[in-house]
Chain A
Amino acid sequence: GQQLNQSPQSMFIQEGEDVSMNCTSSSIFNTWLWYKQDPGEGPVLLIALYKAGELTSNGRLTAQFGITRKDSFLNISASIPSDVGIYFCAGQLSRSWGKLQFGAGTQVVVTP
């Protein structure tokens, strides 16, 4: 089956620094999504990417859908304490929007 590799596994950064994480896949996805999950909660969608090469921003977040459709990255600029959490990339498995394959997650810790 398709494999999603997400890195880094964790990041410890100072407030104000930028954060970058990425995902690569062994095969093509038609849609890439980035979610954030707080402890004990379901994931919340941050950015959705629908076209190869697409670069999309949402506030301090920027994500890109790789040209090969096998990779994506997420950047967080000027991190703040509330950015703490686990960030997941996900690829859409079918035409149903809820059927996703998730990466392993990147835990972000922001220190003041």
Chain B
Amino acid sequence: GAVVSQHPSRVICKSGTSVKIECRSLDFQATTMFWYRQFPKQSLMLMATSNEGSKATYEQGVEKDKFLINHASLTLSTLTVTSAHPEDSSFYICSADTKVNTEAFFGQGTRLTVV
């Protein structure tokens, strides 16, 4: 199946700094990617839809100025957590729509810890 790769898999940062997470589609072009957040022992919650060449669409309650999404190419979407705080510590997962396969492909996730 299609491969979606996230980097880094784990990151620890200091409070107040920014962190960038990359989501790449390795063997297909993805005009649309999705970012999810998962807190411990909870489900995946959709944060935003990343659209290649245009602005991201954010779900209700997600601060667009805090979670900056850039989808500058057909194979890469980035999520930048700006001015991170401990409450932003979470597991961030991306998925990509191949527009061909009738399923979504997920990355392996990024564990963010803000100290």
User: Which residues of A approach B to under 8 Å, CB–CB?
Assistant: 33, 40-45, 48, 50, 88, 93, 96-105
Known: A50-B102, A96-B32, A98-B32. A42 touches B93 (CB 8 A): yes
Tell me whether A97 and B108 are in contact (CB under 8 A): no
0/1 interface trace, chain B 28-44, chain A, CB 8 Å (1 if under): 00001110000000111
Tell me whether A97 and B43 are in contact (CB under 8 A): no
Tell me whether A97 and B98 are in contact (CB under 8 A): yes
Known: A42-B106, A42-B107, A42-B108. A98 touches B95 (CB 8 A): yes
Q: Is the interface of A mostly helix, strand, loop or mixed?
A: loop
Tell me whether B109 and A40 are in contact (CB under 8 A): yes
Residues of B within 8 A of A41 (CB): 108-109
State which residues 73-115 of B face A: CB under 8 Å. 91, 93, 95-99, 101-109, 111
Tell me whether B97 and A98 are in contact (CB under 8 A): yes
Tell me whether A97 and B103 are in contact (CB under 8 A): yes
State which residues 11-41 of B face A: CB under 8 Å. 32-34
- Nearest Cβ distance between residue B103 and chain A, in whole angstroms? 5
Known: A40-B109, A99-B34. A48 touches B102 (CB 8 A): yes
Known: A48-B102, A97-B101, A97-B103. A102 touches B43 (CB 8 A): yes
